[in-house]
Structure 1
Amino acid sequence: MPARSHDPNAPTADAYRHAAEPIGSVTDAYSGRLAPDLAVSTYRNIQRLFPSRTIAAGAAVRELPRSPRALGEISVVQGGEHYDLYDYLALNSVTGLLVLHRGQIRYETYQRGNGPDTRWMSMSVAKSVTSTLAGMAIHDGAIAEGLAARVGDYVPALADSAYTAVILRELLLMASGVGWNETYTDPGSDRRALLAAQLEQRPGAAMALMATLPRVAPPGTRHNYSTGETQILAEMVSRAVGRPLADYLAQKLWQPYGMEADASWWLASPQGVEIGGSGIAATLRDYARFGQFLIEGGRVAGASLLPAGWIAEATQPSVLAGGESIDYGYMWWSGWTEPSRRDRAFAARGIHGQYLYVNPRRELVIVQHAAAPKPMGRMVIEPMSLFDAIAAALAND
């Protein structure tokens, strides 16, 4: 990795070219009530919405060389209609797309004024980062009980709640058996209550909310997608490693793997715990490097950062107590189309169209940034279908 060179457009705290742009409110973002231009300027300035902690890059950058070979024609058939890559970019409100094949950039585009220096919101892609940090904490011995660690032993605020005996594996699978409503656009949902706690910026507000939730099923028996459980995970890992998650991520991966730019991560309160389920702002290329780290087996400089077998277990369909199979691992989505299932591909995904797709079999990473007008249900062309088409196009390359 060559030494870092100074880039006047690099996203540093004192020189970020998007810094003076107008932004909307986080409530309007979750409600799907931002006009297109305002949504774009908001999503590349999310560090202004909440107190944030820097994920510091190091002095060396892992290069992402450009392949001399073009990606070629990509076509997706959906509902009897044929769509090419340009249809996809326009119809899905894509602001950045990068295809990394065998460690080389095969395609990279930026729209709506974004560029390689733009830090874009992760939304729930952050969940998969947080779960990976949990794996690192287990590998480091900070969570000695491993997947059997009990929530109540690590998060005192939940010691007398429905979560006290929930174990780490159940939390990672979002199968705690505790009730939760994730509907982003419903002001009365638990997800919006968690957002209100985040807006309050009071230490302990998020865990106070989680402590009130009722049990609705035995632990491990029912998958129920819950951003609140990722916040519990953030609390567990931060307490276990004895440092902020942003610092742990910088020490374990961001610096030694050679991420090129500082990133940032929302906090639940000033100087508090990071928001485990969202709020990372990083460049398109650094998200791609995170995917490449997984392609390479979770290793840096030849040393594994994760327990043996972690990536396969964390990213493939899981079986709950009672035998139900779910297309979800440890806060990663396993492939949900036939080609992606066949390749054992997996993805991190976030509202408004954020994706990190990883296909180890094809040595393929695809990262997408987007500004869809609503949190869910506004991807006109199914993203996994495009990723499948790219994988197929590169299969014999």
Structure 2
Amino acid sequence: MSSRASAPLADARHSSRSSVAYRHADEPIGSVEQIYSGRLVPDLAVSTFRNIDRLFPSRIVTAGERPRPLTQALESLDGVLATVNGESYDLYDYLALNQVTGLVVLHRGRIVHETYQRGNDRVTRWMSMSVAKSICSTLAGMAIQDGSIREGLAARVVDYVPALAGSAYDGVSLRDLLMMASGVAWNETYTDPASDRRRLLEAQVAQQPGGVMKVMASLPRAAMPGTVHNYSTGETQILAELVHRAIGRPLADYLSDKLWQPFGMEHDATWWLESPDGIEIGGSGISATLRDYARFGQFMLEGGKIDGEPLLPEGWVAEATRPTMLAGGESPGTEPLEYGYMWWTAWTDPSRQDQAYAAKGIHGQAIYVNPAREIVIAQNAAAPKPLGKLAIDPMAFFDAIVAHLDRHR
């Protein structure tokens, strides 16, 4: 357990790494309910998405003093063109039609392209939404590597989260949880006020310690553990509780000490809390700069190592980012989307051939990693609805970027 004090709660008035005021801090913002229901006008969506630490109490993920340099590559994206459903789209089409507010492309750790829109810049923090799930999953791998989760993937959820004892989570393993294959019933529909996802959000809004676990403990069983994949943000909160109890400290502190500082993230991030000074929200609520999201993708591309030292168990990156097998031999996810340990495996043929993978968040957030081509793409966006309103499939355009760089190397 760390001896240093828990990370402080976020103060949105100041930018990270200095006392200079965060220039977006006084912008008007909407509500979290408006985010999930898709009821924000475009300008308000942008100002809300870059100020989410004002929606809930948040804890700071502290950056270090020596940022990892990101130098400029010789390549560019001039002339990149994607053909999707018979229509051609260039970079400018993609940025406009998909409401992209920031795009960084790294090739072999160097910046090929970097753009910011809608008033964002290099110091703008932006919401990750479900990208946070992939980060939380990675923290679980680190806790296994540390020996904090001694049983590894076989660890029983209820042994670490006693609030779930006697619930449908009895008999569920950490591996089941990471695959979202617990067998516990769940409705993830963001825009349905009666869904389990919205019940979870209501518990978060209430800011009562233990409120989220009460929601999760009330759910019925729908299948045997490990047999059926059902996407559930609630299960990422269980993962956050499990990792928190295993390491005995806040996840923001752990993320800072294990990755944010030693890998050289440039700016502090913030992370929503379930209640004031409580546990971090495992499924969303991380707000960071675009370059630091790209650096996280680069960490994964480099095999989860820092200066040759593994932070993750041997083989973890490959196992976590490829389709995993359910009991009975099926992989999680509905074709063509497949799931690893809270990472999405590629759903287009070119990226599948390269064993690429992605962290995804609603409203268009993404970190794409293509290990075969040594390419990382980080994207922020402000799509008008949580799902289904991106005009161009991001991975199809990322494929076009990969092909373009391959031709011009």
Q: TM-score, length-normalised on structure 2?
A: 0.94
Select 1:365's aligned residue among 363, 368, 376: 376
The AA in structure 2 aligned to 1:244 is: P
Residues in 1 aligned to 2:197 and 2:366: alpha-carbon distance in whole angstroms = 20
Q: CA offsets per residue over residues 256-306 of structure 1, 9 Å max, x none?
A: 011000000000000110000000000000000000011111111220000
> By how many angstroms is 1:371 displaced?
0.3
> By how many angstroms is 1:145 displaced?
0.2
Moved more, 338-347 or 63-72: 63-72
Select 1:70's aligned residue among 66, 72, 76: 76
Select 1:118's aligned residue among 116, 124, 128: 124
Structure 2, unmatched stretches of 5+, are 1-13, 333-337
- The residue aligned with 1:270 is 276
Residues in 1 aligned to 2:276 and 2:21: alpha-carbon distance in whole angstroms = 23
Indicate yes or no: 2:344 matched with 1:333.
yes
Select 2:387's aligned residue among 372, 376, 390: 376
Contact 2:76 2:112 in 1 (8 A): yes
> By how many angstroms is 1:324 displaced?
1.1
> By how many angstroms is 1:73 displaced?
1.3
- The residue aligned with 1:259 is 265
> By how many angstroms is 1:395 displaced?
1.9
SS state at 1:198 partner: helix
Go from structure 1 to structure 2 and tell me whether the alpha carbon gap of 1:218 and 1:234 turns closer, same or farther (over 3 Å shift): same
Select 1:240's aligned residue among 230, 237, 246: 246
> By how many angstroms is 1:185 displaced?
0.2
SS state at 2:83 partner: strand
The AA in structure 1 aligned to 2:260 is: W
Residues in 2 aligned to 1:391 and 1:348: alpha-carbon distance in whole angstroms = 17
> By how many angstroms is 1:68 displaced?
2.8
Structure 1, unmatched stretches of 5+, are 1-7
Select 1:133's aligned residue among 125, 134, 139: 139
Indicate yes or no: 2:115 matched with 1:109.
yes
SS state at 1:319 partner: coil
Residue-pair matches, total:
390
Residues in 2 aligned to 1:234 and 1:204: alpha-carbon distance in whole angstroms = 13
- The residue aligned with 2:214 is 208
Select 1:17's aligned residue among 16, 23, 26: 23
Q: CA offsets per residue over residues 194-235 of structure 1, 9 Å max, x none?
A: 000000000000000000000000000000000000000000
Select 1:91's aligned residue among 78, 89, 97: 97
The AA in structure 2 aligned to 1:44 is: R
Kindly, what percent of the aligned residue pairs are identical?
69
Select 1:350's aligned residue among 337, 352, 361: 361
> By how many angstroms is 1:79 displaced?
2.2
> By how many angstroms is 1:15 displaced?
1.8
SS state at 1:206 partner: helix
- The residue aligned with 1:391 is 402
Matches for 1:48-67 after TM superposition, within 5 Å: 48-67=54-73
Indicate yes or no: 2:293 matched with 1:287.
yes
Indicate yes or no: 2:172 matched with 1:173.
no
Residues in 2 aligned to 1:212 and 1:307: alpha-carbon distance in whole angstroms = 33
Contact 2:17 2:63 in 1 (8 A): no
Contact 1:11 1:119 in 2 (8 A): no
- The residue aligned with 1:45 is 51
Contact 1:356 1:365 in 2 (8 A): yes
Moved more, 181-190 or 69-78: 69-78
SS state at 1:395 partner: helix
Q: CA offsets per residue over residues 295-346 of structure 1, 9 Å max, x none?
A: 1111112200000000000000111001112311000000001011100000
Residues in 1 aligned to 2:390 and 2:275: alpha-carbon distance in whole angstroms = 33
Q: TM-score, length-normalised on structure 1?
A: 0.97
Contact 1:12 1:262 in 2 (8 A): no
Residues in 1 aligned to 2:212 and 2:369: alpha-carbon distance in whole angstroms = 31
> By how many angstroms is 1:80 displaced?
1.6
SS state at 2:339 partner: coil
Superposition CA RMSD, Å: 1.1
Go from structure 1 to structure 2 and tell me whether the alpha carbon gap of 1:13 and 1:279 turns closer, same or farther (over 3 Å shift): farther
SS state at 2:185 partner: coil
> By how many angstroms is 1:72 displaced?
2.6
The AA in structure 1 aligned to 2:282 is: G
The AA in structure 1 aligned to 2:343 is: W
Contact 1:143 1:149 in 2 (8 A): yes
- The residue aligned with 2:204 is 198
Q: CA offsets per residue over residues 49-76 of structure 1, 9 Å max, x none?
A: 0000000001111000011332231111
Contact 2:272 2:284 in 1 (8 A): yes
- The residue aligned with 1:30 is 36
Contact 2:58 2:270 in 1 (8 A): yes
Indicate yes or no: 2:166 matched with 1:160.
yes
Go from structure 1 to structure 2 and tell me whether the alpha carbon gap of 1:158 and 1:44 turns closer, same or farther (over 3 Å shift): same
- The residue aligned with 1:223 is 229
Residues in 1 aligned to 2:362 and 2:235: alpha-carbon distance in whole angstroms = 17
Moved more, 373-382 or 8-17: 8-17
SS state at 2:372 partner: helix
Residues in 2 aligned to 1:154 and 1:94: alpha-carbon distance in whole angstroms = 40
The AA in structure 1 aligned to 2:361 is: G
Contact 1:245 1:274 in 2 (8 A): yes
The AA in structure 1 aligned to 2:159 is: D
